[in-house]
Structure 1
């Protein structure tokens, strides 16, 4: 998984396409790589750093500085020629909200990962807890082995961030296989009480057989 620390990101946004917007309302979305999506949907695996669903371009307004400051007011824009420089970290808390619908999970330094937003992976996480596999272990596996993006704020004292995966079906398969393999290790190490009702239920859920 690609890890991006928003603290270190500065984007150069070409204002020309925004000058060419039709008069009236426009939907503008920009992702973490500075790619603009104008009046079109953004792929669900892309981290959004800016969104204005109802930007209304004023008629005959072609002033680059005026448009930049109007659109990116919350990002403290710096304009050089036709390029607008912005630092997304300034609007980090709002950016988290922009991605809430598509993130797989949110990670916080104090609370950690508490839930997977995908219902199938959440079932995996819930059942895996009985097998001595917690959400942290699963999220670490996802970040190290699955394709996607972890967008975070990390200054070595504070940390929080969220994960977006490229292919949820593939991620589910990888996580299930990880849980099964980790369960084998935990059984060998005597960490799991095989006669516990929750353990029995979890083993059945993952179709785990003693011969595994």
Structure 2
């Protein structure tokens, strides 16, 4: 997955296209790739701005105090990290997973992936582990704020191909649970409780 750290990234959008959107009076969004989009937003629309701004304001201030905006000939450069809380709000309904709280990821947005996470937890496979697998093996975008000192991280994950992600998670859990059953006495076949047996059956073990 590609990491899009708002602390480091400058979003570049076309000034004419942006001006047209502002003057339209319609609710629009600015994506992380700088493209402008309109409702209804899709799973591909990872936004750094969503709204209907006051067209009478100059571009430098039109998005509010939490955005840094600079006009550069036919381009508009935008830094958006200060508006992170609002960015979470208008992106989270479309995110595959939410890693914005101190508790970390505790569910997936699709029923199929959530079923995998739920059953995997019977073998103590954490959502954090599954997210690490997704970020390593799948295509997508992690929009976040991250800094080293003091360490801070908050992010939303968007997977490009949900069917592929489902298969990647299923196969990982299947291998890992089979390994635990073979190698860990606590998870030996004869020691499994009903929930663990149900989970093993779910993963076709």
Confirm or deny a common fold (TM above 0.5). yes
Counterpart pick for 1:170 among 164, 169, 172: 164
Kept in 1, the 8 Å contact 2:47–2:91? The answer is: yes
1:170-189 correspondence to structure 2 within 5 Å? 170-189=164-183
**In 1: Cα distance, 2:69 partner to 2:123 partner:** 50
Residues 150-202 of structure 1: CA deviation (Å, up to 9, x unaligned): 11111121111010011111111111111101112212221525331111010
* 2:82 paired with 1:90: yes
**In 2: Cα distance, 1:169 partner to 1:116 partner:** 13
2:94 match: secondary structure: coil
**In 2: Cα distance, 1:137 partner to 1:90 partner:** 29
Kept in 2, the 8 Å contact 1:147–1:166? The answer is: yes
Partner of 2:120: 128
What TM-score, normalized to structure 1?
A: 0.83
**In 2: Cα distance, 1:21 partner to 1:153 partner:** 27
**In 2: Cα distance, 1:134 partner to 1:49 partner:** 30
Q: Considering only aligned residues, what root-mean-square deviation do their CA atoms show, in Å?
A: 2.3
Alpha-carbon offset, residue 20 of structure 1: 3.5
Partner of 1:33: 33
What TM-score, normalized to structure 2?
A: 0.86
Partner of 1:61: none
Alpha-carbon offset, residue 24 of structure 1: 5.1
Alpha-carbon offset, residue 35 of structure 1: 1.5
> Please, which runs of 5 or more residues in structure 2 have no aligned partner?
none
> Please, which runs of 5 or more residues in structure 1 have no aligned partner?
59-64
1:1-212 correspondence to structure 2 within 5 Å? 1-21=1-21, 25-37=25-37, 39=38, 41-52=40-51, 54-55=52-53, 57=55, 66-71=58-63, 73-108=65-100, 110-156=102-148, 157-190=151-184, 191-194=186-189, 195-208=192-205
Kept in 1, the 8 Å contact 2:4–2:142? The answer is: yes
